[in-house]
Amino acid sequence: MRWALAAALFLALALAQTPTGAPPPDLSPEVFRIASQLRCPVCQGESAAESNAGVSQEMRRQIAEMLREGKSEAAIREYFVKRYGEWILYAPPKKGINWLLWLAPAIGLGAIGFGLWRYLAEARRREAELALSEEELKALERRLEEE
């Protein structure tokens, strides 16, 4: 009985937790979607959507205001880029030297693939070198039987 009570209490407490990251009711999910693409300027690795720093709250408020004014998502992003630079964006724009960043995973995978291919080719070559021909095999078997 006591165990059942404890389990029920535990379950109730677990269910009482509000899901984290749920937007407060006063701002639309759209605001949080845009804010999640922007850095919180005073945080380390947190977006303006997750952070509760004063500046992030103000950024969300400004995003909400700009949406109400009918500004596009791109225009809102541009607004913050003009003030903070591209640093504020989580996804750097695909241009210039940034391409190196975007292509880095492909370049890395390519390099690994190339290395693997070279290694396997080398291994195959060595195997072929060491492999015995039919006659050699027969000769060895004969010697084994003789002994």
Partner 1 sequence: MRRIFYLAIVAVLGGLFWWGLQRNPGELKSVLIGKPAPDFELPLLAPYRQEWGDRFRLADHLGKTPIVLNFWASWCYPACYEEAPVLQAAWERYRGRVLFFGINNQDKTSEALKFIDRFGLTFPQGYDPRGRVGIDYGMYGVPETFFIDRAGKVRYRHAGAIDAATLEAKIGEVLR
Residues near partner 1 (CB under 8 A) are: 41-42, 54-55, 58-59, 61-62, 80, 82-85, 87
Among residues 25 and 85, whose Cβ is nearest to partner 1? Answer: 85
**CB nearer partner 1, residue 125 or residue 138:** 125
Q: How far is the CB of 132 from partner 1 (least distance, A)?
A: 30
Q: Smallest distance, Å, CB 38 to partner 1?
A: 11
The residues pairing with 47 across neighbouring beta strands, listed in sequence order, are 39
DSSP state of 113: H
**38 backbone φψ class: left, alpha, beta (φ>0; ψ -120 to 50):** beta
How far separated are the first and last CA of the chain, in Å rounded? 80
For the CB of residue 52, give the shortest distance to partner 1 in the complex, in Å.
12
- Whose Cβ is closer to partner 1: residue 19's or residue 85's? 85
Instruction: Please give the Cα distance from 64 to 76 (Å, whole number).
Output: 10
